[in-house]
């Protein structure tokens, strides 16, 4: 009976989160994006450019009177079978929903492997999927969000593969798919290369490295051919032809270029310091009114959306910690240098690039047990996130 009670609360948290997630999914006011469904249709027609009829309003590259996606091709490739059967109106948000489910199951398996406790694995899976920026990103049909949700799934699957079967070729394929989804995430390969180096006396070092790197190099060649066919350059993804940057210049300002040290303070502030904003009564003065707080569309600090990460201040080391920290820091650099903090988002969504490594660094802290206070933080974070989401966007 005691064992059943230990499962009850995390399962209730799961049920609560799924119900509220369904409400978020149904009530979202965002326009239904079709970027990847349209790109899948283009692939089926043996084209690389989008059909000019009913083009998306933004987030497309306009080059020589043709329109392309600057996102990685993997989400569209994944949609090819369903679009072939049901047509271009097949909802691309299905990718995100499936990614959330796969990520949840994978986190449960990963944590069970590393900590050895299924109930704690449920708690931490609840936290990672429902108590971080991932859930909102996965339930809103914005193509930029879908890319990050799918990429998070591939990264979590790669970590699960590493800590279980550790097949280096499969790991290379997963990282390749990760990079073909979100190109900067090829940098996640650093973790696995560092681990191969650490384990060099226990594994066939050169063979493992070749197995791992080969699929990644092959995917980079595919990226190059894909880019050259569209933009006559192996390095041009089409982002500089993004019509969104031209149509909404007041939101997307690139005063110092696409990447610059000038953007670091802003991104650092949004990632680690920005909190929710007060809801004030109209008129003069400073008087709060219900709901008192709302999410800041320019992002909020990781500690606000995911308070369990406060446990990082008492983190414990594992053999893989150095590789995870090193990779996390490298992955954070492009986001910190990037001109766009993120707009109309919940939390700092670019943290998804390294969030699985942040979780990996956190897990050794709970090696002996998941404290009651940690469970309280998980529940509070999930409930507070839903409060802010509904009072801000719906």
pLDDT for 12: 95
Of 253, 188, 241, nearest to 216 by C-alpha is 188
pLDDT for 282: 83
Q: List, for residues 99-151, the tens digit of each pLDDT value.
A: 999 999 999 999 999 999 999 999 999 999 999 999 999 999 999 999 999 99
Tokens read off for 293: 């707080």
Binned at pLDDT 50, 70 and 90, residue 342 comes out as confident
Query: Is the pLDDT confidence value at 372 over 80?
Result: yes
pLDDT for 247: 63
pLDDT for 40: 97
Q: List, for residues 231-266, the tens digit of each pLDDT value.
A: 999 999 999 898 887 665 545 567 788 889 999 999
Threshold 0.85, pTM exceeds: yes
pLDDT for 2: 53
């Amino acid at each position: 009976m005691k064992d059943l009670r230990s499962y009850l609360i995390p399962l209730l948290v799961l049920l609560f989160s799924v119900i509220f997630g369904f409400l978020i999914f149904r009530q979202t006011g965002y326009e239904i994006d079709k970027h990847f469904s349209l790109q899948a249709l283009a692939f089926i027609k043996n084209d690389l450019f989008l059909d000019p009829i009913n083009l998306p309003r933004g987030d497309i590259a306009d080059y020589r009177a043709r329109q392309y996606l600057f996102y990685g091709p993997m989400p569209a490739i994944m949609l090819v079978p369903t679009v072939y059967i049901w047509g271009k109106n097949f909802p691309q948000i299905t990718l995100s929903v499936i990614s959330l489910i796969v990520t949840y199951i994978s986190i449960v398996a990963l944590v069970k492997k590393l900590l050895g406790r299924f109930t704690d694995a449920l708690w931490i899976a609840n936290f990672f999927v429902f108590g971080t920026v991932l859930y909102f990103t996965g339930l809103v049909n914005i193509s930029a969000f879908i890319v990050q949700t799918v990429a998070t799934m591939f990264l979590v699957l790669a970590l699960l593969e590493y800590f279980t079967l550790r097949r280096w070729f499969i790991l290379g394929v997963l990282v390749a798919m990760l990079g073909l989804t979100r190109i900067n995430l090829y940098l996640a390969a650093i973790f696995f290369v560092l681990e191969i180096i650490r384990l060099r006396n226990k594994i066939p070092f050169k063979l493992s490295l070749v197995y791992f790197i080969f699929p990644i190099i092959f995917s980079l060649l595919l990226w190059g051919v894909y880019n050259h066919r569209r933009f006559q350059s192996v390095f041009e993804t089409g982002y500089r032809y993004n019509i969104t940057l031209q149509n909404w210049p007041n939101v997307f300002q690139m005063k110092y270029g696409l990447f610059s040290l000038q953007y670091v303070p802003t991104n650092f502030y949004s990632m680690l310091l920005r909190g929710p904003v007060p809801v004030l009564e109209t008129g003069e003065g400073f008087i709060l009114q219900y709901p008192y707080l709302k999410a800041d569309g320019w992002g909020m600090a990781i500690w606000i959306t995911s308070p369990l990460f406060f446990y990082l201040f008492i983190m414990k080391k594992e053999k893989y910690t150095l590789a995870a920290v090193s990779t996390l820091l490298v992955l954070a650099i492009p986001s910190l240098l990037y001109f766009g903090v993120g707009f109309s988002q919940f939390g700092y969504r670019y943290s998804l690039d390294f969030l699985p490594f942040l979780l990996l660094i956190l897990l050794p802290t709970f090696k002996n047990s998941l404290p009651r206070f940690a469970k309280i933080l998980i529940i509070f974070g999930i409930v507070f996130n839903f409060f802010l989401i509904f009072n801000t966007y719906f």
